Each structure stands twice: as C-alpha cells, then as structure tokens.
C-alpha cells in the first residue's frame, strides 16, 4: 500500500465524498503510461438518439427552441419521471440532480422538444430500416450505406462482421479547429482546450471496435490524416494496435499547394496503413511516385502521336517553317519523302506533286491550314529510324494522318516498357507493349489524379450538380489506396465508417469493374448538416429530427444520391452524368456500374414496448448483412420458418424438420438463424443441419441479441 493510499483512507474518515473523488483522480493518473500518449478519455461520450420514442426512465436533453441556433447545445441531462397528456399534447415530467448535495430540479416539456440521449455504456437497441436500394448488379452482394452514429454502427457490425472485414478505409474529421466535427453533439472548435484529447478519445473508441471487425490474420486498416493530428494519431495507432505493422504514406493531394504566410506551402496529407497478420501492400504496376506523372496502373498501350499540332492557335502563318508537305505512297501506306517548308505567301496548290504520290499537309478538318509539330529535318530523321509512319485515311475529308513516336514513348522503349520486335515492309518499327513487372508502392505518392479539388469536389459536381460537400477525397486516390489493400481479394469486404460523400464505395465499384470483382463496401456516415447549412436551417425554425432538416444531412443529401448517380449513371435530376472516368479505366460516367447498393437508417428501439414482429423487422437487415448482404431478405416473422438465397430463419422449433428439409434443397444457404430460448432444442436442430450451414442462435426477445453500448466494450 502506498503512502497515498494511506492518506486517502485518512481523508475517507472525515469526508467520504472528497476521498472518493481523490481516489478516482489517483486511479486515472496511476493508469497513465510513463511514455506514449496520455490523454483524458472524456467518458462518458453522449450520443443523441433522434427518432427514438421517449419513455419513462429515459435520459433526455432539450432540443433548442425553434428559431434558436441548434449550435447552442443545452447539455443538461434529465431523467423522464413520467409522461402525461393526450396523444396530441404529450409532455414529459423531468427531473435532474441540480447540485452535488442531491438537490433536485424538475421541469415539464412537450415530447417533441426532447431527444433521448445514450451515454457511453447505456444499452442501446439498434435496428435498421431500409431507405431504398439500387440494383444493377445481378446476384452480386449489395454494398450497404448505413446512416448512423458510427460508434453505434460499429457495435452493431460486431454482430454481423466480427473478424470478417478485409479492409477499413477511414478519413475521419481532421480536427482542424474549424468546427469540422462534433463531440457530444457539439462542434469542436479551435478555442476548445480539450480538443486534442476529445479527438483522441473519440478516435480511440472507434479504432478499438474497428480492430475487432478486422480479420486478424490478413487485413488492412487505413486512416488518412493531415499535419494537425498526425503525430498524436501515430502514437494512438501504435498503442491500439501494438501487434500490427504500420507504415505512413505521404500523398500529394493539392499540387498547387495551400500557401500560408511565412510557412511552407502545403501540398500533402498522410495515410497510415496498419497491416494485420500476414497482410502487406499488394504489388502494382505503378509505384505512385516514379514514372510518368500520371502513369496508369494497367499496362499502357503504345501511343503513336499525330504529327499535326492540334491546338487552335497552331496556325500556318505563326510558324511557316512547320508547314510543309509529307509525300506518301497511298497504296503501300509509306512515307516516301519530306518536302521543304513553304514560305507564307506561297499557296500549297502551287507545289508540284511527284507521280503516284499524295502530298499530306497539316490541315484541320475544316480545311484551314495548321502546322506540324516537328521541323522537316527532324521528321526526315524519324522516318529514317522507322519511328514515323502513315496513319489512318479520313475518307470524308480525303485526308491522311501522319504519326510519330514522341519523346515519352521513346523513353518507354529505353526503359523496356515497349519492346521493338522488328520492322515492317515500310521500315517502320513494330512495337509491343511489355507487361511491367509488378512492384511495391512507394511511401510518397505524387500523382495529379489524387488531387482532391479536381477529382473529389469536381467528381461530386458531375454526379450531384449543385450539392456541396466539404473535402471529399479524389475518387482515384481512394481507388489507388484500396488497390494496395484488396487488389488480390476480389470478394473483399471493405468498411468505411466516416464515409462522407461515399467515395470509398464508389472506388470499390471501380476496382470491381477492372477485374470482375464482387467486393462489397459498407459505408457508415451520420446525417450531420454542415455548420453553414445548420445556420440557414436554424433561421427557418427547423431543428434536428425535422424531415426538412434531415433532408439536408450528409447521408440523405450527398451520400445516397452520389452513389445512386454513380451506379445508374444519372444525376438526381435524371440527366446522364456528364464526363468520363479517367485513368486506368476510362469510360463515360453515364454508363454507371453493374452493382447493387442498399441504403439503411439505424433506428433505436425501446425493447420493452416493441411488439414481437416489429422487433424482428427492425433486426431483419442485420441477419441479412451477417449472411453476406446477398439476394432476398427475410423481413417478417410471419411463418414458422423462412429460407432466402443465403440464409434461413427458424422461428418455431416445432417446424425444424421442414426447415432442415428446405435448407437441404437450397444449396446457396450458408447460415441458419434459430430463434429459441431453449438451449437443448437449439442443439438438437444444429445436429440436423447440412455441414455447409453455420448455425446462429437468436433469443426470442430479438432486440436483446443486439444490445450495444453496454459495458462489453
Ligand atoms: C472527412 S469526412 C469523410 C469524407 C469522405 N472520405 C469523402 O471522400 O467524401 C468525415 C465524415 O464523417 C462523418 N462523421 C463524423 N463523425 C461521425 C460519427 N460520429 N458517426 C458517423 N459519421 C461521422 C461526417 O459527417 C463526415 O461526413
């Protein structure tokens, strides 16, 4: 026993309360590490449960008065002592401990002016309700989007995906000090003295859950961050995942950079890759640093460049020495000789053309005189080396094109990316693209396709015109990142629990298209409105929970319409999405993707008051998720049992023989959920199940199977 403990005992005799407080502080201090990251854990973290019906005994807080700013949070927690009034004017009688000596304060408020609050460790009973789906992917598994507080969603996912996730990609709030995230329902700003420890506590709780979801033998967690929290996050990762191998990658996301007064111009952000078990970065064709500034990942075909200078300004009169005839033999498609440059005042018709040949001039489609890219002597040289040739004939305009290999392609030959296999009858080199050996990525990435402005915000403008989301990632940056994690796992399960605009799910769809994969992405994001929108909604007298308010939330206003637009190729206004995907897999965005997505909202159930069937409906999507999010879903408990594509549910043990028979006929079924409180009965059914079917027991009080937020975590 230390001297401190002795002193505490002494105090206890005089003032028990003071002694308890001191003992608490002492415990916190003694648990701190000597080295590493020490921070206040800010327990409890409270979470609003909007939409959860208010019942006696609930913890609630006041919603702001209509018209007042929703940003001014009344943090006081009340207990509902009773509920009174008629259906239309129901009020809650509230009580709270107002002073440490036990003094009580009471209040009465209409139910719609209150929101239920769950503190850390208060049990919560989650359910999922579908908010629609888009189906273009045949029998592929569904990507899912869950509109929820991610702390609760992660806990619910422990039931469906514990140890099953192959990759987690998260882009959390960066804690910039500019009200970019909420802790306990309140924006955290630069003035908050505890902002770093709040952020760490918030992240730690979620990373601990993330760890349980990942496959410990082979999986990757990726967390992006910028300069403001990188060091604290690095230490936190080390502490939460001591067994993993962690690397940090620097990604240039803004090539022009953000200039700051008397500071370096910032161009980058970072990603921690945390590898579990045998995992490591997949090898790819592009190390993301060396090679062409926007090297493709796939093997790039040999590109012969057109000799004509394409731009509008490339007129004959500006560079007369680049206006000359190239004489070709149109039958054998051979360049025969190069004529001399024509002075500007000499018309091209005046030039005499040798018999059997055609003079090719640098002419635009409309016949206007342009110029070539190379001087006559240079082209003569290239022809002699076999690296210039006759291209296609444009019948409509009676015009031939001339092609050559530019410096970039010659460098690829030098690097061995293009092999010279010989010469054709015209003496032109025959070339073959060589598959580049796969190699490891670098720890610094410099690709213009990772630019967040062009390929993040710009991409959103194309998909959901007029809707704004702060700082989406470049689609191609996320695609490149995920390639290192799941390139060799075509059926991977990917999770993003700070999904924002849905870039991760979109990137997974791109990867699937490139290799016919069936990867599925689970995206979790809340329905927060941005601070600016919040101010505008406050003025209109709206507040969280109102339909009009929620419609502007990120999930409903951005994530869902973005992913619908990506899959269908049509904007929310039902116009074809304009523009093409670039890099690696180029195609019109209006083609969409052959993928399935279902959108869910997390609900909060009150277990005692919920009828049996309604309770099953609330948890039905969780069973479907656990069985692989594929095919039909069993949504009601109407019959004794039900069998869908990948799973079955036995509701009444008396029907077990028929259930087992039905499962034997359904070869794609992998999971059988058996609803019973009777352990012996459950075991009996299990012995009858086909070997390839995994059994899962569910208690009859459905919701208790899924109680989350309890002391377990
Ligand atoms: C930085 S953004 C992610 C952007 C995303 N990578 C993209 O490309 O669009 C973080 C997102 O996480 C959401 N978020 C923050 N805290 C959350 C929480 N506790 N639960 C669920 N979502 C949360 C925010 O609403 C925000 O949309």
500 C-alpha vs ligand 1 centroid, how far in Å?
4
Q: Is any ligand 1 atom within 6 A of the Cβ of residue 150?
A: yes
In the block, residue with structure tokens 């590490």? 33
Q: Pick left, alpha or beta for residue 175 (phi over 0 → left; psi -120 to 50 → alpha; otherwise beta).
A: left
Rounded to two decimals, the pTM is 0.79
User: pLDDT band at 713, cuts 50/70/90?
Assistant: very low
Which stretch of 165-169, 297-301, 413-417 has the lowest confidence by average pLDDT? 297-301
pLDDT in tens, 14-50: 888 888 888 887 777 776 666 667 777 766 678 888 7
| Cβ-contact 459, 566 below 8 angstroms | no
pLDDT in tens, 444-502: 999 999 999 999 999 999 999 999 898 899 999 999 999 999 999 999 999 999 999 99
Pairing of β 114-119 and β 59-62: antiparallel
pLDDT in tens, 158-201: 999 999 999 999 999 998 877 777 777 677 777 777 888 889 99
47 or 609: which carries more pLDDT confidence? 47
Nearest CA to ligand 1 atom 3: 500
Nearest CA to ligand 1 atom 24: 500
* pLDDT of 370 higher than 90: yes
d(CA 176, CA 173): 8
pLDDT at 710: 60
Q: Is any ligand 1 atom within 6 A of the Cβ of residue 362?
A: no
The ligand 1 atom nearest the CA atom of 148: 21
Which stretch of 29-38, 153-162, 384-393 has the lowest confidence by average pLDDT? 29-38
Evaluated on CA atoms 646, 652, 655, 656, the torsion sign reads positive
Nearest CA to ligand 1 atom 4: 500
531 C-alpha vs ligand 1 centroid, how far in Å?
14
* pLDDT of 442 higher than 90: yes
Q: Is any ligand 1 atom within 6 A of the Cβ of residue 473?
A: yes
Q: Is any ligand 1 atom within 6 A of the Cβ of residue 553?
A: no
217 C-alpha vs ligand 1 centroid, how far in Å?
28
pLDDT at 72: 67
Q: Is any ligand 1 atom within 6 A of the Cβ of residue 526?
A: yes
244 C-alpha vs ligand 1 centroid, how far in Å?
25
pLDDT in tens, 508-557: 999 999 999 999 999 999 998 877 788 888 888 888 778 888 888 999 99
- Angle, helix 3-14 to helix 16-31, in steps of 10 degrees: 160
**Looking at residue 449, what DSSP letter applies?**
G
* pLDDT of 298 higher than 70: no
pLDDT at 621: 97
In the block, residue with structure tokens 């965005």? 589
Helix (H) or strand (E) holding 119: strand 114-119
Q: Is any ligand 1 atom within 6 A of the Cβ of residue 501?
A: yes
Share of the chain above pLDDT 70, in %: 94
* pLDDT of 291 higher than 60: yes
Test site for ligand 1: of 147, 173, 205, most ligand atoms within 8 A of the Cβ:
173
d(CA 376, CA 389): 14
Nearest CA to ligand 1 atom 6: 171
The mean pLDDT of the chain is 90
pLDDT in tens, 234-288: 999 999 999 999 999 999 999 999 888 899 999 999 999 999 999 999 998 889 9
Q: Is any ligand 1 atom within 6 A of the Cβ of residue 498?
A: yes
User: pLDDT band at 97, cuts 50/70/90?
Assistant: confident
Q: How far does CA 290 lie from the centroid of its chain?
A: 26
* pLDDT of 1 higher than 60: no
Assign 124 to helix, strand or coil: strand
Q: Is any ligand 1 atom within 6 A of the Cβ of residue 205?
A: no
Output the six-digit token pair for 388: 């210039």
Q: What is the gyration radius of the CA atoms in the chain, in angstroms? A: 33
Nearest CA to ligand 1 atom 7: 472
Nearest CA to ligand 1 atom 26: 500
471 C-alpha vs ligand 1 centroid, how far in Å?
10
Q: Is any ligand 1 atom within 6 A of the Cβ of residue 503?
A: yes
Q: Is any ligand 1 atom within 6 A of the Cβ of residue 472?
A: yes
Output the six-digit token pair for 99: 């002073």
* pLDDT of 708 higher than 60: yes
Test site for ligand 1: of 528, 534, 556, 561, most ligand atoms within 8 A of the Cβ:
528
d(CA 372, CA 314): 9
180 C-alpha vs ligand 1 centroid, how far in Å?
9
CA angle 526, 157, 652 (to 5 degrees): 125
In order of their start, the domains of the chain are 46-119 (2.30.30), 141-294+441-593 (3.40.50.150), 305-433 (no CATH), 610-706 (no CATH)
Strand partners, 369: 363
Output the six-digit token pair for 190: 């630069």
Nearest CA to ligand 1 atom 12: 498
2 or 549: which carries more pLDDT confidence? 549
**Start-end of H helices in 469-527:** 475-486, 503-515
The ligand 1 atom nearest the CA atom of 174: 1
Test site for ligand 1: of 176, 178, 468, 526, most ligand atoms within 8 A of the Cβ:
526
In our burial notation (b when 16+ CB lie closer than 10 A, e otherwise), range 457-471 reads bbbbebbbeebebeb
Q: Pick left, alpha or beta for residue 226 (phi over 0 → left; psi -120 to 50 → alpha; otherwise beta).
A: beta
Share of the chain above pLDDT 90, in %: 64
The ligand 1 atom nearest the CA atom of 182: 16
Q: Is any ligand 1 atom within 6 A of the Cβ of residue 171?
A: yes
pLDDT at 415: 82
The ligand 1 atom nearest the CA atom of 527: 25
In the block, residue with structure tokens 């058996």? 674
Strand partners, 128: 602
554 C-alpha vs ligand 1 centroid, how far in Å?
9
Q: Is any ligand 1 atom within 6 A of the Cβ of residue 185?
A: no
* pLDDT of 404 higher than 80: yes
């Amino acid at each position: 026993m230390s001297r401190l403990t002795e002193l505490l005992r002494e105090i206890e005799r005089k003032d028990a309360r003071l002694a308890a407080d001191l003992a608490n502080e002492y415990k916190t201090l003694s648990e701190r590490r000597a080295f590493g990251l020490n921070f206040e854990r800010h327990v409890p973290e409270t979470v609003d449960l909007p939409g959860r019906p208010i019942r006696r005994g609930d913890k609630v807080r006041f919603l702001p008065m209509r018209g007042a700013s929703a940003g001014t949070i009344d943090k006081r927690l009340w207990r509902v002592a009773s509920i009174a009034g008629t259906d239309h004017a129901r009020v809650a009688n509230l009580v709270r401990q107002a002073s440490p000596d036990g003094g009580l304060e009471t209040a009465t408020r209409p139910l719609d002016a209150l929101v239920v609050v769950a503190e850390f460790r208060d049990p919560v009973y989650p359910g999922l309700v579908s908010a629609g789906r888009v189906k273009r992917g045949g029998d592929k598994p569904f990507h899912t989007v869950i509109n929820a507080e991610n702390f609760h969603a992660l806990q619910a996912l422990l039931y469906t995906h514990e140890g099953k996730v192959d990759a987690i990609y998260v882009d959390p709030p960066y804690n910039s000090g500019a009200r970019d995230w909420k802790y306990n329902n309140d924006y955290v700003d630069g003035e908050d003295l505890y902002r770093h420890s709040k952020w760490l506590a918030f992240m730690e709780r979620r990373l601990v859950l993330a760890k349980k979801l990942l496959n410990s033998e082979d999986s990757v967690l990726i967390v992006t961050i910028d300069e403001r929290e990188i060091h604290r996050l690095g230490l936190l990762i080390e502490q939460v995942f001591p067994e993993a191998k962690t690397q940090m990658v620097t990604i240039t996301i803004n090539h022009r950079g953000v200039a700051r007064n008397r500071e370096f111009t910032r161009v980058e952000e970072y990603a921690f890759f945390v590898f579990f078990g045998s995992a490591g970065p997949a090898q790819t064709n592009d190390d993301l640093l060396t090679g062409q500034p926007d090297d493709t990942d796939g093997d790039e075909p040999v590109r012969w460049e057109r000799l004509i200078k394409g731009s509008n300004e490339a007129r004959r009169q500006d560079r007369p020495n680049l206006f000359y005839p190239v004489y070709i033999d149109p039958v054998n498609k051979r360049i025969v000789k190069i004529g001399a440059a024509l002075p500007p005042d000499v018309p091209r018709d005046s030039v005499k053309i040798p018999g059997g040949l055609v003079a090719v001039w640098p002419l635009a489609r409309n016949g206007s005189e342009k110029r070539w890219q190379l001087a006559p002597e240079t082209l003569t040289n290239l022809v002699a080396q076999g690296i210039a040739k006759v291209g296609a004939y444009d019948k409509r305009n009676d015009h031939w094109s001339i092609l050559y290999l530019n410096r970039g392609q010659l460098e690829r030959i030098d690097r061995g990316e293009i092999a010279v296999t010989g010469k054709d009858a015209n003496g032109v080199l025959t070339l073959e693209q060589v598959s580049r050996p796969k190699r490891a990525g670098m720890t610094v990435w410099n690709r213009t396709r990772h630019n967040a402005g062009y390929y993040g915000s710009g991409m959103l403008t194309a998909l959901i015109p007029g809707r704004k989301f702060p700082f989406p990632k470049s689609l191609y940056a996320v695609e490149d990142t995920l390639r290192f994690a799941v390139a060799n796992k075509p059926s991977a399960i990917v999770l993003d629990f700070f999904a924002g605009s849905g870039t991760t799910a979109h990137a997974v769809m791109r990867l699937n298209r490139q290799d016919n994969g069936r990867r599925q992405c689970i995206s979790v994001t809340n329905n927060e409105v941005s601070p600016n929108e919040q101010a505008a909604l406050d003025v209109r007298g709206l507040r969280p929970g109102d339909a009009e308010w929620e419609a502007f939330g990120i999930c409903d206003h951005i994530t869902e319409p973005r992913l619908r637009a990506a899959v269908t190729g049509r904007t929310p206004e039902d116009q074809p999405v304009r523009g093409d995907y670039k890099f690696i897999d180029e195609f019109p965005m209006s083609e969409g993707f052959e993928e399935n997505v279902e959108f869910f909202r997390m609900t909060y159930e009150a277990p005692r008051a919920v009828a049996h069937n309604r309770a099953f409906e609330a948890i039905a999507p969780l069973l479907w998720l656990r069985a692989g999010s594929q095919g039909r879903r069993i949504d009601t408990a109407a019959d004794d049992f039900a069998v869908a594509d990948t799973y079955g549910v036995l509701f009444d043990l008396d029907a077990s023989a028929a259930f087992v028979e039905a499962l034997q006929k359904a070869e794609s079924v992998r999971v059988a959920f058996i609803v019973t409180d009777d352990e012996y009965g459950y075991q009996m059914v299990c012995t009858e199940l086909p070997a390839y079917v995994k059994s899962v027991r569910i208690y009859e009080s459905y919701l208790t199977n899924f109680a989350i937020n309890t002391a377990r975590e």
